[in-house]
Structure 1
Amino acid sequence: MTQLTVPPLFSAEAVPGADPFERACAQAALGCDAGLVTHAITDTDLRAAMVFAPEVPLLKAMAMLPLCGIGFQNALGALAPPEVAVHLDWTGGIRLNGGACGALRIAASTGALQKIPDWLTVGLHLPLWPENDSPATPDETTLYAEGCADVDPARLTEAWVRHTLVWINRWTDEGTRPLHSEWRPLAHGLGEEITQNGLTGTFTGVDEDFGMLLKDAKTTHLIPLTTCLETP
């Protein structure tokens, strides 16, 4: 069973055979302390999740999704060969060298935008090795297929927690400005025509709360990041 070393005020729980995201949401609903990190690492997949206790309304707390994405990019950037490029989908998807490679997901105790959630959980799934020789779509990839076979998934998970903590502290002290500055160069599809939530237009950027700005011929639509919220 994989053991993780996590920063003070965090605690790690291995949940082999279970979904760490579902486990983290369940533990959060039962009142566990913030900082719980659940994880399950196999030969083919890295799965982990972190529990947070926001002190701001859900609309603001949704910044944890891109923040955890930045934490992951920083973590893999420190461990992977320098030629490996990491980009982030607005919805939480992760891309390595342009190929889809896992995703982040998010859930909270409430869907009310102006209410402070009792808890918020962000999950990470990263495929390490293909389950077969024929991926579901041509643009899918895995960590090891992109030249990262020497990256230990347990060490990567630990680094994800550490780098995420660094960005939480920056966000708390400095607000969203540094978060936006770090995220924007990593954003996949920015400046391109995309379809999101049934709307098609140019992805021109995000608002202060990371809501997507999608411009079509008539107007600019604002798609709140809360549309990515899952129901636990």
Structure 2
Amino acid sequence: MSETITFPPLMTGEAAGPGQDPFDLACQKAELGVDAGLVVYELGTDVLRAALVLAPEVPLAKAMAMLPVCGVGFQNALGALAPPEVAVHLDWNGALRINGARCGRLRIAASTDDPDTQPDWLVVALDLPLWPEGDGGETPDETALYAEGCADVAAPRLLESWARHCLHWINRWDEGELETIHGEWRGLAHGMGEARTEAGRSGTFLGVDEDFGMLLRDETTTHLIPLTTVLVQD
């Protein structure tokens, strides 16, 4: 797709080539020292993929907030373009849900997996199916954007909107508005107060700590599962 994509100031765009995963390509470019703000993207006929390169100036444990921050950015972006009845929720581990069903995900990678080390780079990627594969009845908990009343949402405009809203929330995070970001995210969080299993532990999802670590309560205690457990490893 050759349509022009307009990114906000401080961001630049680069289309991935045929057969290239924008997430992998963004990580490769980040490793080579590309400037933060690069968005590598793929606008396919049935999928939207994009990956944003960042260079946080805090330890990884705190920089992991970029995953929920970009999730809030996605909800805002789709909310600005989709019909008002379309509901978007965010799973703690990066999964996206539209009208209750899973619809793509956010992924995150960094130059280090040490929570106390400041990463040289960090990449947050969006993977969003536009059209369902096969018979949607075979996977009732999985959906695609255009199957949820969003057929008029053009993928290029959604990509532009996601970039703008991510930048908005990243700036607010830079300015220390963590309480506001937590409030936005909690209002969109999927499954809070429900039973779930994460990182080999099962219990009730109570909420998150300051760094968005999951608080999971079992019969005897509350466990803290750091958000770094969802990092994509090489």
Q: TM-score range by the shorter chain?
A: over 0.9
Report the counterpart of residue 11 of structure 2 in structure 1: 10
> 1: distance between equivalents of 2:104 and 2:233?
19
> 2: distance between equivalents of 1:195 and 1:2?
42
> 2: distance between equivalents of 1:136 and 1:100?
14
Task: Determine if contact 1:16/1:39 at 8 Å carries over to the other structure.
Answer: no
Task: Determine if contact 2:136/2:143 at 8 Å carries over to the other structure.
Answer: no
> 2: distance between equivalents of 1:34 and 1:136?
40
Alignment RMSD (CA, Å) = 1.0
Task: Determine if contact 1:2/1:41 at 8 Å carries over to the other structure.
Answer: no
Within a 5 Å distance, the mapping from 1:144-159 to structure 2 comes to: 144-159=146-161
In structure 2, do the counterparts of structure 1 residues 173 and 198 end up closer, same or farther at CA, with 3 Å as the change threshold? same
Listed one character per residue, the Cα deviations across residues 141-196 of structure 1 (whole Å, up to 9, x for unaligned) are 00000000000011101100100111011111134111100000100000111111
> 1: distance between equivalents of 2:40 and 2:137?
27
> 2: distance between equivalents of 1:8 and 1:230?
28
Within a 5 Å distance, the mapping from 1:41-80 to structure 2 comes to: 41-80=43-82
> 1: distance between equivalents of 2:97 and 2:4?
27
Unaligned stretches of 5+ residues in structure 2:
none
Matched-pair identity in %: 63
Task: Determine if contact 2:53/2:122 at 8 Å carries over to the other structure.
Answer: yes
SS in 2 for 1:104: strand
> 1: distance between equivalents of 2:193 and 2:52?
31
Confirm whether residue 228 of structure 1 aligns to residue 230 of structure 2. yes
Task: Determine if contact 2:136/2:142 at 8 Å carries over to the other structure.
Answer: no
Instruction: Decide which of 209, 212, 223 is 1:210's aligned counterpart.
Output: 212
The letter for the 2-side match of 1:207 is D
The letter for the 2-side match of 1:113 is P
> 2: distance between equivalents of 1:206 and 1:71?
19
* TM-score when normalising by structure 2: 0.97
> 2: distance between equivalents of 1:189 and 1:95?
11
Aligned length: 232
SS in 1 for 2:42: strand
The letter for the 1-side match of 2:39 is V
Unaligned stretches of 5+ residues in structure 1:
none
* TM-score when normalising by structure 1: 0.98
SS in 2 for 1:230: coil
Instruction: Decide which of 139, 142, 151 is 1:140's aligned counterpart.
Output: 142
SS in 1 for 2:75: helix
